[in-house]
Amino acid sequence: MANCVRCGRQLPPFSFKRICQWCVQHEAAQRGEEIENAPQPVIAAPWTRRESTITLTQVLFGANVAVFVAMIAAAGSLDFPGQIAVHFGANFGPYTLTGEWWRLVTYMFLHGGVMHIFFNMWCLWDLGRLCESLYGRWTYAAIYFTTGIAGGLGSLVWNPQTLTVGASGAIFGLAGALIASFYLGEFSLPRIAISGTLRSLLVFAVFNLFIGGFFGGVDNACHIGGLVSGLGLGAAIARVAPHSEPRRVGLFVAAAILLAGGAAGLAHHHNLPLLFGRSPFER
């Protein structure tokens, strides 16, 4: 599709003109050839960025629900056996540590039951929207996946033989990042709003860690890994890169290197070769 040679706006399809109607009318008005109060056509400027109305939180929410529906279809019930979870990408030490590192990402989109996904999506909807509105889309995405991976590694440190599924590691990571950012005063918000939200986040983190310690089947190691990494990322962003995107990119690259080093060290600790690809245990 051709563009206007004056302003760069897109011309209509199959147009043989080189100047858009906006520029034609605008130049005519400047020469005094346009009648007074003539309506000016509204054409989007080429430099105007069109933001999608779909938020990243909605995308993550939808992906989690879609995977849950697929798991129901595969299992034929709401009770998922371990084999189904492993097939869909659960974080499981014998497979993850022997080459299937992608499980540190896929496990975040799996859930073990209706109440599990209901509670996690409720928390993601609230914390995700807050985090996305304050940090922006790409920083929010980087925090979510970085802390989710950190939570998965934390689970492997403490429970390498246990299947881990759920978005809670990343959700705790969002909570940790917001706690650090609010405490260090990164966001220009009223003090009363900051103190109230900070108090709610602290109650959320402490209460859920406390509950997780008393109920079986709750992977608190994953929660702690996500929370601690979120606190670290939130503090680093607030102190080093509160308004600098290049510095934020550097922080997340450094975090990725640390996570990769931690994964390699964990494999070495278990006397496993550092492999990439399909685990030999699955062959």
pLDDT value, residue 188: 60
Question: What angle do the packed helices 114-135 and 137-158 form, to 10 degrees?
Answer: 140
In this structure, is residue 84 part of a structural domain?
Answer: yes
Task: Specify the number of domains making up the chain.
Answer: 2
In this structure, is residue 1 part of a structural domain?
Answer: no
The rounded distance, in Å, linking the Cα atoms of 98 and 278 is 8
Within 8 A by CB and 6+ apart from 191, the residues are none
Spans in the chain with pLDDT lower than 70: 1-18, 22, 30, 32, 34-52, 186-193, 216, 279-283
Of residues 249, 209, 217, the one with CA closest to residue 233: 249
Same domain, 186 and 265: yes
pLDDT value, residue 262: 92
Query: For residues 7 and 45, is the Cβ–Cβ distance under 8 A?
Result: yes
Two tokens, residue 199: 């108090």
Same domain, 155 and 33: no
Same domain, 40 and 60: no
Side chain identity, residue 226 = G
In this structure, is residue 2 part of a structural domain?
Answer: no
- Alpha-carbon Rg for the chain, nearest whole angstrom, is 25
Same domain, 155 and 39: no
Task: State the pTM of this model.
Answer: 0.78
The alpha helices in 31-167, defined as continuous H runs, are 56-75, 82-88, 93-96, 103-106, 114-135, 137-158
Of residues 169, 154, 156, the one with CA closest to residue 94: 156
In this structure, is residue 114 part of a structural domain?
Answer: yes
- Specify the CATH number for the domain of residue 67: 1.20.1540.10
The strand pairing partners of 91, in sequence order, are: 164
Same domain, 112 and 185: yes
Same domain, 89 and 24: no
Within 8 A by CB and 6+ apart from 178, the residues are 127, 130, 131, 134, 197, 201, 230, 234
pLDDT value, residue 35: 61
Expressed as residue numbers, the domain containing 18 is 7-50
* CB count in 10 Å sphere of residue 188: 6
Same domain, 144 and 110: yes
pLDDT value, residue 282: 62
Same domain, 44 and 107: no
pLDDT value, residue 7: 66
Catalytic residue set: 168, 223
Name the 3-class secondary structure at 279: coil
Same domain, 39 and 66: no
pLDDT value, residue 9: 65
